[in-house]
Structure 1
């Protein structure tokens, strides 16, 4: 059995996630108040800022933070590492009481090359992580402070998925029509980082448009080894080469 200790990064992400889940479940009205535009371009709500505050409290001892809400937050300690953070992925889902929102956390070196990554689903209280060369999925309740059995939690999918995920489908009806005509089923779930992290399990994951580093850094690290095309116009990920090639042809056709 492959038992590995938690890294400080994983441990602190778990501690932050538990605190955030309790806060979001509280229903505090301040979480729903709109604030100013964040570094990522969207208007922050109270929940975004509170999630950032909690992550910063736990993670700044390890590294600087580049957050979608506030941009660069320096660590008080001597470090070259930087954490690229989306503290609340799927804010609109949270505002709408749709249970699909979480966080994207990527620990990078000074050149922004990812070393460890975690994508946390706050609603299911599960996370997908890559650390020490392994990708694994766990419930927050599965964690023990000292060690974890990675062999029993390897992130795999035994079944053939019926659907993919198409984020931003609402603003790309021509592509959605091509998918329908080709028999490609999809869902549009509204939290890009969570959806990227699920690319191992679904038929495909497509984000139409230019995706921000805050949303994609951790997920792309988790998806290394899958078929990926990341351009200015879209991000496509699939474990199935035939489906990947089919969608690439449709995307090319959609431009004509």
Structure 2
């Protein structure tokens, strides 16, 4: 079942990737109504959701940021963010993607996150965590990057105290604006931290990717890092 699910998830991502690569019409970037996740959905959000539903709904109940619950086999839940980083897409910032988490008995068993800006795809199950390209589908194991010089701080624009702390401790960061995607790259960077209210669409797949990293999660923060020294510094401040 998982192999078939992955195959169809890849096909859906390839279709959306090709759609964006060929250039989106202005109409697809227009806003519609407020989605289930609380943000205003773009037409491209809804189109991407439609493509995912066509490919994945046969595997389980879909819980999407745009439309909420889409009925299906209740033995499996598919947590879906059809476009992660919509504001980046609107602003021509090449950092946006898709996020899929497959859950069984309230436990994530499979995660798939795709970077639609460069075609990179991350897939993790209970045995392997791999990365590859949508156009080649040649995968390699995700490993820690020992040379990382900076981290990701999502929603840093909403923070005051943590921004000051990171500056004082000379912990460099970027705030790219697509949380699931940033968690997919957590093994590449020094740390990933998020401050603010978290929705399941944002973190279900990405958090599953980080089970082998140091992690701290509160109602307002999620911090992951492969570097214990960095993790201890930031987590001590958060707590």
Report the TM-score, using the length of structure 2 for normalisation. Answer: 0.95
**Which residue in 1 is equivalent to 2:122?**
128
Counting only pairs closer than 5 Å after superposition, residues 18-97 of structure 1 correspond to structure 2 as 18-25=14-21, 26-75=23-72, 78=73, 80-97=75-92
2:13 is aligned to 17
Match of 2:183 in 1: 196
Q: Give the C-alpha shift of residue 24 in structure 1.
A: 2.0
Partner of 1:137: 131
The structural deviation recorded for 1:158 is 4.0
Residue 132 of structure 1: CA displacement? 4.6
1:98 lines up with 2:93 in the alignment? yes
Residue 155 of structure 1 is matched in structure 2 by 142
Q: CA RMSD in A?
A: 1.6
Shift of 1:210: 2.0
Match of 2:167 in 1: 180
1:217-236 deviations in Å (ceiling 9; x for gaps):
00111111211111101000
Contact 1:82 1:108 in 2 (8 A): yes
Supply the distance in 2 between the matched residues of 1:200 and 1:15 (Cα, whole angstroms): 26
Larger RCO: 1 or 2 (CA < 8 Å, sep 6+): 1
TM-score by length of 1: 0.89
Equivalence for 2:201 = 214
- 1:85–1:214 Cα contact (<8 Å) kept: yes
**1:81, 1:107 within 8 Å by CA — same for their partners in 2?**
yes
Gaps of 5+ in 2: none
Q: Structure 1 residue 201: deviation in Å?
A: 1.2
8 Å contact from structure 1 (residues 24, 47) kept in 2: no
Contact 1:62 1:79 in 2 (8 A): no
SS of the counterpart of 1:99?
Answer: coil
Q: CA deviation at 1:242?
A: 1.1
* Distance across 1 between alignment mates of 2:26 and 2:51: 18
